[in-house]
Amino acid sequence: MSSYTALVNDFWAWRLEETPEFASAVGVHDFDRRLETYTLEAFDHRTEQCRQFLARIDAINVTRLSSLQRQHVRVLRYDIVTYLNGHRWRFHCCLNAVNAVEGVHKDFHYWVDAMLFDDDQSFKVYTTRLRSLATQINEQVNLMRQAIDRRLTNHRLSMEAVVGDIAELLGRHATDSPFYKPFNRSLAFVKVSQSNREKIRQEGEAVILDQVMPSYRTLRTFIRREYLPRGRRALGVSSLSQGLEYYRACLTWHLSYDLSPSQLFAIGQRLVDDIRRRMKAIKDQVNFSGDLHDFMRYVHGANKFVYRSEEDLLEAYKDLLYKKIMPRIGRVTNYTQTKLPVVERMPFDGPLGVMMAGGGDTGTADIFFVNVINPLRKPKWKMLTVALHETLPGRYLQTSYERSVTMPSYRKWRELRKLSSVPFHFPSHAAYTQGWALYAESLGEDMGLRKNVYDEFGVLYSQLLRASDWVLDIGIHALRWSREQAFHYGRGKTALSRKQMQPVINRIVTLPGQAVSAGFGRYTIHNLRHKAQVRLGVAFDIREFHHRVLQVGPVPLKMLEETIDAWLDEVAPTSATDAANLPNVVCLITCCVLGLSAGATR
């Protein structure tokens, strides 16, 4: 076995052993008895292990690797270095693993639903893990006490909802709790005697009653009585000791690009203003007499923009994907689809649409869930944007590319939870993945799918929400905006109500830097496309450009930029003088900050 193969295998095995919940989620059940350890000693031990992995990476003779293997090693090295750099901020981020967005009161669904329940032994494994949950909760309470002592707590907006969420869990009888679901749902299909089946249920109920629920009760009491009174008073993390530097580290983690908050703030403001100008032009084009906010409210409420029934809305999405998007996907990509996702109604009132990837190895279907509940509140002009984002050429196409390339497991599977531990966390490269999906929303024009100005308005509205969140994130965490300043900006730019803005602001307060990620990723891909168009002129092929962006897989944006540059150097070599005069992402960003780049989002 080569040093490269051994490294890749060892790192992945270590990741799964250290994060058993993640292992369950990716279908590895060797560690289902355990849960992740949350102690400072564990954080330090993982850091030391990563230093050893980094030394092994640097000892590899990369000249003996294929170009694809070299890319995999570069990504792994970036991920490990990012994790090691984040260790400095472990007190700022990892002491507060519980908040309104994520934590032990929410994330248990992540691993309960992923576990196997196919024999009596699997239920014993599950009850052992439930006992570990009680230990994990106590570990996190101990960490939050250290956050109080170090004055590194969350704001109350990040914590108040936790008390109610836990109260809801505690308000149910053990046999009605989500922890008991496997005993109600799966045990009936296991081949055991009735007496053993009843014994398994009793053991599960006892663990939930005697260990799980008391631990949640302790957590709820602690948050209400000790933590909330000592929560930080300012919204943003820059109010903490070394807070502005910590925030910049969060931005670098989320964006995989090193720009200052002031640079990003200027870009975000310009994007918001440019998008609003284009939205106003559409308002004027349709001769609407009110202002832009009046127009936003009008298109959200007018009867002509909605379907009257859930069935009609569901059928319209199927028609959009199968009869409109699919026949035109060849205009923007040269990738051949072998199968399409199934369109189904979302079983709960969630976002407008969600793409759920099936098992690429098992053949289970990919499903595009669409929210058809209360169709009178689901405008038609948002449908194209949602479908392009979630299916083709957005998330579904991206997932198809990942499946078509042999990738090591650490690249194929990315842990998308524990965002409160950023920047002491392995990167998910969401600026690339979410940035592509957001960029894909705009490809309806290239595909000939926009049939009216309202379809364009849907794309702009989606971009406006992301750009506004981008500015709010930096305003709150770097510029120390108050809650009222945040409300004033958000409502003034998006026309959302105060009630609609509240969860947006709460999430931004809780996860510093995260709201900038997708918008910046879209912005970067857009600028790389512009660069390729300038360099190649009439030879520019949008399908080949998209192929180059997608085939690299989830990577830091800098690495994506280097990949596109290498491709351009190969197909259109230039002199040093010509190359110096070509725009690049950094140049375009600088021009935007200085106010020299018009229409940067077009």
The 10s digit of each residue's pLDDT in 140-149 is: 999 999 999 9
pLDDT reported for residue 120: 94
Q: What is the mean pLDDT of residues 432-460?
A: 98
pLDDT reported for residue 32: 98
Q: Give the end of a domain, one of 497, 516, 535.
A: 516
pLDDT reported for residue 573: 76
Number of domains in the chain: 2
**Which run of H or of E encompasses 320?**
none
Whether 462 is in a domain gets the answer: yes
Position 595 confidence tier, pLDDT thresholds 50, 70, 90: very low
Q: Quote the percentage of the chain above a pLDDT of 90.
A: 90
Q: What is the mean pLDDT of residues 555-565?
A: 98
Same domain, 289 and 175: no
Q: Give the end of a domain, one of 233, 268, 301.
A: 233
Over 80: is that where the pLDDT of 601 sits?
no
Q: What is the mean pLDDT of residues 95-99?
A: 98
SS3 string, 154-187, reads CEHHHCHHHHHHHHHHHCCCHHHCHHHHHHHHCH
SS3 370: strand
Position 572 confidence tier, pLDDT thresholds 50, 70, 90: confident
Over 80: is that where the pLDDT of 324 sits?
yes
The distance of Cα 316 from the centroid of its chain, to the nearest Å, equals: 27
Q: Which two tokens stand for residue 579?
A: 């190359």
Over 60: is that where the pLDDT of 252 sits?
yes
Q: List CB contacts of 229: < 8 A, sequence separation 6 or more.
A: none
Which residues form the domain of 495? Answer: 247-516
Over 80: is that where the pLDDT of 200 sits?
yes
Cα gap 295→405, rounded to integer Å: 45
Same domain, 223 and 132: yes
pLDDT reported for residue 357: 83
Whether 287 is in a domain gets the answer: yes
Q: What is the mean pLDDT of residues 324-348?
A: 91
Same domain, 346 and 482: yes
**Chain mean pLDDT for the chain:** 94
Over 90: is that where the pLDDT of 585 sits?
no
Sign of the Cα torsion 9, 28, 106, 104 reads: negative
Same domain, 287 and 350: yes
501-549: pLDDT as tens digits: 999 999 999 999 999 999 999 999 999 999 999 999 999 999 999 999 9
**What would the DSSP string read from start to end of 105-128?**
TTTHHHHHTTS--SSHHHHHHHHH
Q: What does pTM read for this prediction?
A: 0.94
31-60: pLDDT as tens digits: 999 999 999 999 999 999 999 999 999 999
Same domain, 186 and 251: no
342-345, strands of its sheet edge to edge: 342-345, 367-370, 353-356
Whether 590 is in a domain gets the answer: no
Over 90: is that where the pLDDT of 188 sits?
no
Same domain, 265 and 193: no
Whether 54 is in a domain gets the answer: yes
Q: In this structure, are residues 429 and 34 in contact, taking their beta carbons and an 8 Å threshold? A: no
- Counting every residue, how long is the chain? 602
pLDDT reported for residue 256: 97
Query: Amino acid identity of 40?
Result: L
Whether 487 is in a domain gets the answer: yes
Same domain, 429 and 289: yes
Q: Which two tokens stand for residue 231?
A: 């929560």
pLDDT reported for residue 587: 45
Whether 194 is in a domain gets the answer: yes
**Which run of H or of E encompasses 130?**
helix 120-150
pLDDT reported for residue 597: 32
User: Closest Cα to residue 522, out of 416, 429, 432, 448?
Assistant: 432
Q: What is the mean pLDDT of residues 77-85?
A: 99
Going by the DSSP 8-state scheme, the letter that residue 531 receives in this structure is: H
Going by the DSSP 8-state scheme, the letter that residue 512 receives in this structure is: T
Whether 523 is in a domain gets the answer: no
pLDDT reported for residue 583: 52
| Cβ count within 10 A of residue 521 | 28
Same domain, 219 and 287: no
Whether 601 is in a domain gets the answer: no
pLDDT reported for residue 335: 78
Same domain, 287 and 389: yes
Same domain, 351 and 442: yes
Same domain, 191 and 133: yes
Q: In this structure, are residues 112 and 24 in contact, taking their beta carbons and an 8 Å threshold? A: no
Q: What is the mean pLDDT of residues 566-574?
A: 89
Same domain, 260 and 201: no
